[in-house]
Structure 1
Amino acid sequence: MRRTTDTTDSTAARAAAPADRPEGSGGAGSPGRLRALVEAEYGGIGGGYVNTATLGLPPARTAAALRGALDAWAAGRPDVAAYEAAVAASRAAYARITGVAVERVALAGTVAGSVGLIAAQLPEGADVVVAADDFSSLVHPFAGRPGLSLRIVPLAEVASAVRPDTALVAVSAAQSLDGRVADLPAIRAAATEHGARVLIDGTQSVGWLPLAPDMYDYLVCHAYKWLLSPHGACFLTVREGLEATLSPAFAGWYAADDPWESCYGPIADLAPGARQFDARPAYLSFVGAAASLSLIEEVGVPAVNAHDLALAARLRAGLTALGRTPVPGDSAIVAVPGMPATAPARLQQAGVRFAARAGNLRFAFHLHNTEADVDLVLNALG
């Protein structure tokens, strides 16, 4: 039991309330109920924001939770007990969303920090396979670790690149650059055949793309995109039995079995399971995460998936009709290479918020988006 001295009721504590929802529950049900729920959370947002792959938009409940916590802090009433409740609620909700036991989820601060924790313990000369042009936070910790054999291969060849001496495959489930979704079943099968472990970066996928827990040994996800949370709410999932593959040298006081009794000197007892790798949480980030994750659970990942993919498919079809060739695939992220130099300015003039990545125009659809957003993009480009 974590000991705190402030038990004041607060918005942060109320945001933590969904933690007792049974695993596997949630889902908005009918399309009408989904629309009503999303309207209640995003009704005040103007159209044109199609850039969740850069930054997710907080729902109303998240903005309210953060304002309440910030106001209380500024008034000299920071509620540490409520912060801790929000941290616990966030961890539990993320475990349910990803389909793992809560004991498997560690708190993190960044993707690169979690990947570095894994890279640090690989043996000298270990063979690591990553995808070309994958996000730097996933790739560079291996490149920056001396003594590793890092092989960078095209995304479509990741599974076939796994060989008997491969120690680890690290890949984003959905690519930041262009939205392509990795063939995770093939990667998992190749890794199992050769005794390699699999690390998945779910930052561009968790929240809209269902991921089977047996596909990965480690899953890292920063929640500020598709999980609609503030920067600083990040999670690392560690498969049971793999705790020994990570180093306790990175543990701080929050990784203790009882953090509030382990603030000074060496930690006598690390927490069991993945919690022993906890980074000290940024409290306000997790106040927001508890609220945002409750919405993802309430809607349900299958419903989010259907909503996001339908809008992305509508845009791909419209772009094809305009004579453009978007990157193919079934992804909530739509990337279009080779657009005219005038296209960004036309989109901006129409009020479209999008991203440009390595020669692609990138559009990403999520809960707050409607068909009107798709049509706004197509009209600006057509």
Structure 2
Amino acid sequence: MQFVDAVKLWEPEPGWLNTASYGVPPRLAFEALQGPLDEWRRGANGWDKWDEATGRARAAFALLVGAMPGDIALGASASQVLAPVAASLPPGSRVVVPDIEQTSNLFPWLVHDFDVQTVPPADLAAAINERTAAVAFSLVQSATGEVAPIDDIVAAARAHGALLVADATQAVGWLPVDATRFDVLVVSAYKWLMCPRGTAFGYLSPAVRDRIRPIAANWYAGEGDASYGPPLRLAKDARRFDIALPWFSYVAAAPTLELLLDIGIGPIHEHDVRLANRFRTGLGMAPGDSAIVTVSKPGSAERLAAAGIRASVRNGGSRVAFHLYTTEADADAALSALT
């Protein structure tokens, strides 16, 4: 689908520059929910009909990140997908994390008896050494929009045999991402993938899956009919890490992800970064490579709000985010409010 035609399927109110908090769904995703919600209200169908959307969502996400569907686990949040990964490291493990990392990729490590080292994002690759058991970082930082030096971090982790864990929540949906470069990649899908809250995906490489204990083992992650009684019979692939999923969230997720595949991440990336740089240039900032811009100007949050611009305050700055449904008029309205 051509980009100019696809964006007509979104109908945000002008001034929505807050996709880094949550994404606006396309009309077809909202419409896909209405029938199942009415069926639920009336008890007209079993849940298995709604659950068909989870297989579609798994397949679509896999294609978006260059992976196989069997390497994708489904969950409800990034931290929940990360929990079994962290729990599988031995006590005392050294884990290196950026010092401004969003806590969904920090608390899962801090809650254990690990030696968690936090360093500035630019120093992350240099901090990885032979004692590092795992490195966990965001491809795009939530607070600043900074895109990580992925090549350097991957090279350092591979050189020292460290488990390589990436949070791509603020990346997948606008930034081209190859999940297979990492051991584990997690995404909360309600932001740039514009799915409902309660949808999350995890890529778990076949090379490390057997090292990770599925501590949330449940019937949904089972092989065949696993509803009652022993023995333990979990799926052989990444589906063993699934949780019993929120049906309706995935009913809307499937058509949204399929639509993104149809549009292509390349045109979305070009559009998002172009608008972000239009905004940055207007403020006298150097061009960047991110769809997220943080403005530290005093009073910026109040001025944006007064102009009807919905944004977020993060780390003391106003965070604005540009996505496929953002227009030049949106960017210029925010710029006018600040200048």
Q: Give the TM-score normalised by the residue count of structure 1.
A: 0.86
The match for 2:270 is 306
2:148 maps to which of 178, 182, 199: 182
Query: Per the alignment, do residues 246 and 372 of structure 1 end up closer, same or farther by CA in structure 2, a change over 3 Å counting?
Result: same
1:340 paired residue number = 298
Is residue 253–residue 267 contact of structure 1 (8 Å, CA) maintained in 2?
no
Q: CA RMSD in A?
A: 1.4
Work out which of the residue numbers 202, 227, 230 in structure 2 matches 1:236.
202
2:169 maps to 203
Question: In the alignment, which of 8, 15, 28 is matched to residue 61 of structure 1?
Answer: 28
Q: Provide the rounded CA distance (Å) in 2 between the counterparts of 1:268 and 1:115.
A: 22
2:253 is aligned with 1:281? no
2: CA distance between counterparts of 1:155 and 1:249?
30
Aligned twin of 2:4 = 35
Tell me whether 48-57 or 116-125 shows the greater mean CA deviation. Answer: 116-125
- Report the counterpart of residue 157 of structure 2 in structure 1: 191
Superposition deviation, residue 79 in structure 1? 4.6
Counterpart of 2:232, as a letter, is: A
Secondary structure in structure 2 of the residue aligned to 1:151: strand
Deviation at 1:345, TM superposition (A): 2.7
- Counterpart CA distance in 2 for 1:220 and 1:266 is 30
TM-score by length of 2: 0.97
Q: Which runs of 5+ in 2 are unaligned?
A: none
The answer to whether the 8 Å contact 1:256/1:267 transfers is no
Q: 1:129 maps to which residue?
A: 96
The answer as to 2:31 corresponding to 1:74 is no
CA distance in 2, matches of 1:191, 1:105: 22
Residue 220 (structure 2) pairs with residue 254 (structure 1):
yes
How far is the alpha carbon of 1:112 from its aligned partner?
A: 1.4
Change (3 A) 1:267 1:347: farther
Distance 1:345 1:365 in 2: 19
- Aligned residue for 2:155, secondary structure, equals helix
Where in structure 2 are the equivalents of 1:102-117 lying within 5 Å? Answer: 102-117=69-84
Whether the aligned pair in 2 keeps the contact of 1:105 and 1:235 (CA below 8 Å) is: yes
Contact residue 176 and residue 266 of structure 2 kept, 8 A: yes
Is 1:166 aligned to 2:132, yes or no?
yes
Asked whether the equivalents of residues 257 and 271 of structure 1 are also in contact (C-alpha less than 8 Å), the reply is yes
SS of match in other structure, 1:128: strand
Q: CA deviation at 1:252?
A: 0.7
Structure 1 unaligned blocks of 5 or more: 1-27
Query: By how many angstroms is 1:272 displaced?
Result: 1.3
2:307 to 341, 350, 371: 350
Change (3 A) 1:79 1:291: farther
Q: What is the CA–CA distance in structure 2 between the aligned matches of 1:138 and 1:319, rounded to whole Å?
A: 32
Corresponding position: 1:315 with 2:279:
yes
Moved over 6 A (4+): none
Measure, in 1, the Cα distance between the counterparts of 2:278 and 2:288: 13
Deviations, residues 284-318 of structure 1 (Å, cap 9, x unaligned): 01001101101211111111111111111111101
Q: Identity rate of aligned residues, in percent?
A: 39
Partners of 1:296 and 1:53 in 2: how far apart? 17
Contact 1:134 1:172 in 2 (8 A): yes
Residue 6 of structure 1 aligns with which residue? none
Letter of the 1:353 counterpart = R
Deviation digits for residues 72-109 of structure 1 (CA, Å, limit 9, x no counterpart): 21122135233221000000000000100111001112
Which is worse superposed, 44-53 or 57-66?
44-53
Tell me how far apart the structure 1 counterparts of residues 198 and 26 of structure 2 sit (CA, whole Å). Answer: 17
**Shift of residue 155 of structure 1?**
0.2
| Aligned length, in residue pairs | 339
Deviation at 1:268, TM superposition (A): 3.4
